[in-house]
Amino acid sequence: MAIENDHIKFNQYLEPTSHISKDSSRITGLTINGLDLCRNGRVIDDTMEAQEGIKSFISWIEKEFPGGCILVAHNGKRFDFPILKRYLESSSLSCRSLNGLDSRDILKKHFPDLAKNKMESLVSEFLPNKECKHHDALEDAQNLSAVIKEASKQKGMGLSEFLHVQGKSYYKLI
């Protein structure tokens, strides 16, 4: 799991709580070798048990964003947010305010003619000179941040205005 907000970053590998499918391994490079989580065949030494990682994440959020925050994730409504919400509910952790926005909704609203809405396509469209790895949590967070900043600039809007899409509600995490 990773977050990037300007120069504030959180990046932590969590120990899987279920099997990693072959398709997921092919896409992310993540596999399990015995009890070790590996990326592209190399053991990741800095992993945390999932519940411990979520506690660390919430502590980080409360320290860095004491008034609460809104997480923006690409395809967050279908993937990231339900998983995070499930962990948060099972851990009984509290946080002032934690909501989510799905960047797919935001980008579809502002750029309805965009041919593809996958992260790789968005990086190519909005950041054509950027070489990047995909399906690496921190790199994906940094790419999404850069895409949203460039997209809002192309629309001549500030970030707050760009991210506020009429009719699209926040995903309530806590």
Please, what are the domains in the chain? 2-172 (3.30.420.10)
pLDDT at position 167, please? 61
pLDDT at position 115, please? 82
Q: DSSP class of residue 58?
A: H
- Across 7-122, the runs of DSSP E, i.e. the strands, are 8-11, 13-14, 30-33, 36-39, 42-43, 47-48, 69-73, 98-102
What CA–CA distance (Å, rounded) separates 45 from 73? 26
- The dihedral through the CA atoms of 73, 162, 120, 10 has a sign that is negative
pLDDT in tens, the chain (174 residues): 877 777 778 999 999 888 899 998 998 889 999 889 999 999 999 899 988 998 999 899 888 888 888 899 999 999 889 988 888 888 777 777 788 999 999 999 999 998 888 888 999 999 998 877 777 888 888 899 999 999 999 999 999 899 886 666 677 777
- CB count in 10 Å sphere of residue 144: 20
* Packing angle, helices 103-110 and 137-154, rounded to 10: 20
The residue length of the chain stands at: 174
